[in-house]
Amino acid sequence: MLYFEDLKVGQRRVIGTHVVPKDEAIAFARKWEPQPYHLDEAAAETSLYGGLTVCSLYLFAVCTRLFFQHEDQIAVMAMLGKDEVRLPNPARPGDALTYHTECVSKRPSRSRPDSGIVTGDDVGVLCVVDVGAVDALAARLRAEGAGRGALLGRQSVCRV
């Protein structure tokens, strides 16, 4: 388990990879984001994407699953927000999507001495700044209670 203190500036992690099955992507989009460019190959060919694309909600679901399957779990206590969501490149059925995260800065929290803010930067088919509460092990051990840290990190899913 990785705690707030374990997160180091410059550290880049590959969380995992997922190959997008076409039938799964279409079924997911049909239920949750039924746009023609996610569902119908002929309609997708005439869209601005020029072919089928994977819906953004599916990408978030892939990130979540890969995060919880990763062997070096981060002690996230709560997800507090997602900022700066960008989809600079379409993901397509059959793509191998690799989830990366990198810590690029870290500072103590101004309001909570047992926490801090971590930011990251990546580029891919989905780029997100995540904000979450992360258990600060040292503070928890000192207080013999549940210490918390804040994590703000930018993450991405990239085609490989």
92-139: pLDDT as tens digits: 999 999 888 877 776 766 776 666 655 555 556 777 766 565 666 655
pLDDT, position 109: 66
- Cβ contact 136:112 at 8 Å: no
- Cβ contact 125:90 at 8 Å: yes
pLDDT, position 53: 96
pTM of the complete model? 0.77
* Residue 87, burial from CB neighbour count under 10 angstroms (0-12, 13-18, 19+): middle
Domain around 96? 4-159
Residue 66: CATH number of its domain: 3.10.129.10
Give long-range contacts, CB 8 A cutoff, 24+ apart: 139-147: 139/113, 139/114, 139/115, 140/114, 142/114, 143/114, 146/77, 147/114, 147/115
CA distances to 23, 85, 96 from 122, rounded to whole Å, are 28, 12, 17
Encoded tokens for 38: 């996610």
Number of domains in the chain: 1
- Cβ contact 116:150 at 8 Å: yes
Of 130, 129, 123, 117, nearest to 156 by C-alpha is 123
Helix (H) or strand (E) holding 85: strand 76-86
Higher pLDDT, 34 or 152: 34
pLDDT, position 75: 74
Encoded tokens for 9: 């500036």
Average pLDDT value for the chain: 78
Higher pLDDT, 86 or 39: 39
Pairwise CA distance, residues 82 & 23, whole Å = 28
